[in-house]
């Protein structure tokens, strides 16, 4: 597996924002250019070592999903073709990593939908019998399916900080009742459509996080969509109640770091090549199983 540099070539465009994985630039004419790196964060700490091809997988999966879901909700993606992007990124290193998008006014909430009881929701339920303050039936086990998918918003935290779970009423206070209801209904519709598609391919979507924004008053789907970074994808034949199934994501990294004497604060420990390689393979497998397409055919994947 080829090595991928942690840092891509410099981009001579006005810098807008850098997150844990993406760097965003102003492409002019109301457009943004998103460049997805191979950076990986675990326990909210960005690791020093990249995960080969991770950025291309995230871009490829987002491209697939926004097209598949475009009749459910509009989106901000204009192109993933390097030829459509500004000349400042006409470098083969960026192939398969770029998203040219409409610039949106982003909602200040994460639109999370949960179909299974896992992660922070399981921790809360185990303590209080609730999920985001909502009562759930008694006696549910870890990884159990919820009676119906639930919209559980959170606030957006800066890099290095944790998002904070909030109630729907608190989301209403942040963005107003009409927008909150629209965000909830659209998120649930997106999750339902995606879950059916994934289930037909032997994958359970336990939960996912959508980013929504406004363009000319229209609420649209933005940023990454239903990727291994924003979702928990489980192989359906390995889901067992009372346990956490393996995920098509950075689980090999989490498992490795959990076995170390590390306090989950920077600086992170070094990541062995075999762990990075195993994680890369999980991302690629998720893409190929969900889309039915060969990752090797995505721009830059064969480099």
Indicate the DSSP class of residue 8.
P
Indicate the DSSP class of residue 95.
T
Strand partners, 26: 32
CB 212 within 8 A of CB 110: no
Cα 232-34-190 angle, rounded to 5 deg: 40
Of 89, 111, 100, residue with least CA distance to 63: 100
Per-residue pLDDT 10s for the chain (303 aa) are 333 344 689 999 999 999 889 999 999 999 999 999 999 988 888 899 999 999 999 999 999 999 999 999 999 999 999 999 999 999 999 999 999 999 999 999 999 999 999 988 999 999 999 998 889 999 999 999 999 999 999 997 665 456 788 899 999 999 999 999 999 999 999 999 999 999 999 999 999 999 999 999 999 999 999 999 999 999 999 999 999 999 998 888 988 999 999 999 999 999 999 999 999 999 999 999 999 999 999 999 986
CB 241 within 8 A of CB 220: no
Q: Which residues contact 301 (CB under 8 A, 6 or more apart)?
A: 53, 56, 60, 96, 295
Domains recognised in the chain with CATH numbers: 106-238 (3.30.470.20)
Cis peptide before 57 (omega within 30 of 0): no
d(CA 113, CA 119): 13
CB 94 within 8 A of CB 7: no
Residue 249's pLDDT is what? 87
d(CA 71, CA 66): 9
d(CA 249, CA 245): 12
| Gap between the terminal Cα atoms of the chain | 10
d(CA 213, CA 38): 25
């Amino acid at each position: 597996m080829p090595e991928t540099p942690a840092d891509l070539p410099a981009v001579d465009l006005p810098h807008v924002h850098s997150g844990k994985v993406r760097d965003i630039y102003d492409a002019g004419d109301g457009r943004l250019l998103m460049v997805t790196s191979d950076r990986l964060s675990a326990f909210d700490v960005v690791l020093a070592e990249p995960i080969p091809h991770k950025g291309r997988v995230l871009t490829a999966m987002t491209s697939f999903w926004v097209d598949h879901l475009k009749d459910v909700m509009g989106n901000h993606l204009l192109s993933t073709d390097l030829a459509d992007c500004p000349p400042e990124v006409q470098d083969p290193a960026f192939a398969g990593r770029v998203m040219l998008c409409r610039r949106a006014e982003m909602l200040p909430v994460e639109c999370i939908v949960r179909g299974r009881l896992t992660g922070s929701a399981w921790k809360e339920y185990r303590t209080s019998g609730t999920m985001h303050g909502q009562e759930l039936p008694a006696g549910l086990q870890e990884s159990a399916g919820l009676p119906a998918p639930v919209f559980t918003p959170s606030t957006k935290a800066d890099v290095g900080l944790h998002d904070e779970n909030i109630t729907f009423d608190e989301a209403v206070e942040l963005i107003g009742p009409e927008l909150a209801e629209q965000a909830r209904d659209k998120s649930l519709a997106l999750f339902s459509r995606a879950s059916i598609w994934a289930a037909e391919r032997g994958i359970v979507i336990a939960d996912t996080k959508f980013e929504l924004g406004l363009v000319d008053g229209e609420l649209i789907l933005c940023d990454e969509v239903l990727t291994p970074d924003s979702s928990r994808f489980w192989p359906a034949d390995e889901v067992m109640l009372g346990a956490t199934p393996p995920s098509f994501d950075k689980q090999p990294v989490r498992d490795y770091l959990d076995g170390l004497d590390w306090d989950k604060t920077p600086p992170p420990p070094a990541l062995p090549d075999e762990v990075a390689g195993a994680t890369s393979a999980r991302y690629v497998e998720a893409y190929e199983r969900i889309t039915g397409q060969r990752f090797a055919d995505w721009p830059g994947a064969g480099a």
